Amino acid sequence: MKFDVLVRCGSDALLYQKSGLQSYADSNDHGDILRILSGLEASAGAVVIAESGCALFVDGRYTVAAKKCVDRSRFEIQDLSFSNIIEWIKEHVAVGGTIAYDPKYYSHVELEKLQENLPNYTFKSVNLKNIFGVKTQKRDLNISACSTGGYSIHKLTENMDFAPLDDGNFRVSRHSEARRAVEIQKKENQLLKCKEYIEAASTSQTHLAHFWEGSEALALKLKYVTDAIARNGLDAYLICDSASACWLMDMRDFETKYTPVVQCYLLVTKSGETTIYLDEIYNFEESERFKSQAYLLADLKKYKTVGIDKSETPNYIQHKNLVHVKNPCLLPKAIKTEFEIANIRGAALSDSVALINFFHWIYANHANGVSELQATEKLLYFRQRQSDFMGDSFPSIVATDSNAAIVHYSPKESHRPIGKILLLDSGGQYKYGTTDITRTVCFSEPTKEQKVIYTLVLKGHIAVANAKLPQGATGSCLDPLARQYLWSNFLDYNHSTGHGIGYVSNVHEGPMSISRNTTIPLKPGMLLSNEPGFYREGEFGVRLENMMIVTEESYGFMGFDTISLVPFDAKFIDKSLLTADETDWLRRYHASIINGTMTRLSAEVSQWLHEIAEEFL
């Protein structure tokens, strides 16, 4: 295969990476280039193919998975790092050689760094989808726009920005009033480019809050970009991060698998005019506001200076005067509003109810030979029973015993019966929030070592949940708190402790994280995961994850409010290793589970939950 690939590329080597620059569609069809080249399905990774050999570079989440599914007679498997890729190329590609790459998958910063570190090589631009004959699966564009009850689907037409589908979800009179109100607002403020359609919230869902106080907030968000344009003397700014564009314009596409964003670029001019350039996957009627990305490069020529974030802009986007300006949406998008936080709490509650129902079912049925795949399908069933569930936020990780040691394992077609241990890492996209949660449970008495490891992981989780940090501190202050008890036993895990979570968007959202090297200060309103773990290859794995909101505390400090409400496994805990404060945290946490979920559970599940929680109360 490698020689055929190099012949088709007309090069001595092919360099490919899977990263956040890729179209979200790549994971929805047969166009996943990483899988085509290496056989590995992963959210991140890199491949180098040369005449003398091939290498696959993966981070700690996929090391074990790569060993299992990649042909190691063809591929070396190495840790994913820039330095490792550079050294491998120098060792396997002769100086003066030509390296093919697809500029859609490399940002300006990444390509410049490659060229700087490989000055004696020629880089050749190729189109990998054309080379591999990947066909784009076209579909109609149905935009979901902000409304009182979360996001509701609208169809894009030529004469209006967001027109409601005739599906019975809207009252015509309310829609008409909202449309007239928006038209008036649009005349008064030319910055407003999104129309908002108001849908009455169900009285049975009183936890739902309005995303924004009103249409005025759309102009406030747009001002982050126009201010950046003014500060840097630009004529326009191009946003290439689809999640940022959708946050700015209050729109989503729930047909985009796992991450409900409209796949697009957004161009904002210094006067506040906006043009959305849609991905080739969409069928739609073009207008001045909605265009195909095929027109983007020609349209950019109309402006003397264009700002981009070079770290997130694909290298194929070129202009005679591109100016690097950090994406002005990243930080404000990460700091959730009070309305978003109220909605996120509602999504976390619905998701917790689904998980509690699932665990009630799996405890009752695992002895009947339930497979990983059957458990995955049943988990989806319980989420679908939640009225505002729209889809999974990532492929569910349902892993038993040795599979639990594979950090990002996915059962796919696995009929392996669930054995002694089950690690379940999953999440949902709801109309009013995104969720991510992990539990590890044991269906029989765990070994002493397993109990110790579970308890050490739990102690780290509690340490992060209980932490207080001064304003301005980063997630790097939290990371050692999560690892300290494992470290004291010469153990560790090869992934970050936590990541940001978007609002009806990416389940992994930057710029903040809980990791060793992060430099981004945490801010009240940010939504994070707290997920320490431990993995013994070939035997078992443990990971415990909750979502938590960064809160403002007294005296200039920050704290963390855990919003996931799913019980831990008491029989997995060595209580002799817990301090009084940790025991009290577990008591309070399980009391909050009872108080928060009981009205949403059947009598049978409620009784079961009481029995589970009783171990902690």
Which pLDDT band holds residue 158 (cuts at 50, 70, 90)? very low
For 251, list phi and psi in degrees, rounded to 5: -140, 150
Tens digits of residue pLDDT in 568-589 = 999 999 999 999 999 999 999 9
In the chain, the percentage of residues whose pLDDT exceeds 70 is 86
Q: List CB contacts of 424: < 8 A, sequence separation 6 or more.
A: 355, 358, 375, 379, 396, 397, 398, 399, 438, 439, 440, 441
Average pLDDT over residues 516-533: 97
Q: Which helix or strand (DSSP H or E) is residue 542 part of?
A: strand 540-543
E strand or H helix at 199: none
Q: Token match 């939950």: residue?
A: 609
Q: Is the pLDDT of residue 161 over 70?
A: no
Strand 274-278 relative to strand 251-252, pairing? unpaired
Q: What is the 3-state secondary structure (H, E, C) of 472-510?
A: CCEHHHCHHHHHHHHHCCCCCCCCCCEEECCCCCCCCEE
> In order of start, what are the domains of the chain with their CATH numbers?
2-131 (3.40.350.10), 140-330 (3.40.350.10), 335-565 (3.90.230.10)
- For 397, half-sphere exposure in the C-beta direction (CA atoms, 13 angstrom radius) is 26
Assess contact for 598 and 606: CB atoms under 8 A: yes
Here the tokens at position 282 are: 């969409």
Average pLDDT, the chain: 87
d(CA 69, CA 406): 12
> How far apart, in Å, are the Cα atoms of 243 and each of 42, 56, 248?
20, 28, 9
Give the span between the Cα atoms of 428 and 504, in whole angstroms.
9
Contact 178, 186 (CB under 8 A): no
Q: Which tens digit of pLDDT belongs to each residue from 439-474?
A: 999 999 999 999 999 999 999 999 999 999 999 999
User: Could you give the maximum distance between any two Cα atoms of the chain, in Å?
Assistant: 72
C-alpha–C-alpha distance, residues 101 and 85, integer Å: 14
Q: Look at residue 585 in the predicted model and tell me its pLDDT.
A: 98
DSSP 8-state symbol, 369: T
pLDDT at 166: 35
The alpha-helical segments, DSSP class H, found in 415-550 are 448-466, 479-487
Reported pTM: 0.86
Question: How is residue 62 annotated by DSSP?
Answer: T
How many degrees, rounded to 5, is the angle at CA 240 between CA 147 and CA 388?
A: 25
Query: Comparing 66-80, 340-354, 579-593, which segment has the lowest mean pLDDT?
Result: 66-80
Closest CA to 214 of 161, 190, 178: 178
pLDDT of residue 16 exceeding 60: yes
With H, G, I as helix, E, B as strand and everything else as coil, classify residue 296: helix
Contact 435, 520 (CB under 8 A): no
Q: How many CB atoms lie within 10 A of CB 538?
A: 9
Residue 22: pLDDT band with limits 50, 70, 90 = low
| Helices first, then strands: H and E counts in the chain | 17, 32
Query: Coil, helix or strand for 55?
Result: strand
The pair phi, psi for residue 223, each rounded to 5°, is -65, -25
- In whole angstroms, give the CA distance from residue 382 to residue 468: 35
Instruction: Compute the distance between CA of residue 298 and CA of residue 302 in angstroms, rounded to an integer.
Output: 8
Report how far residue 314's alpha carbon sits from residue 571's, in angstroms, rounded to the nearest whole number: 50
Pick the residue with more confidence: 188 or 435?
A: 435
Cβ contact 548:563 at 8 Å: yes
Cα 39 to Cα 76: distance, rounded to the nearest angstrom = 13
Handedness of CA 28, 33, 37, 42 (dihedral sign): negative
**Range of 126-135, 144-153, 170-179, 260-269 with top mean pLDDT:** 260-269
Q: Is 498 within 8 Å of 528 (Cβ atoms)?
A: yes
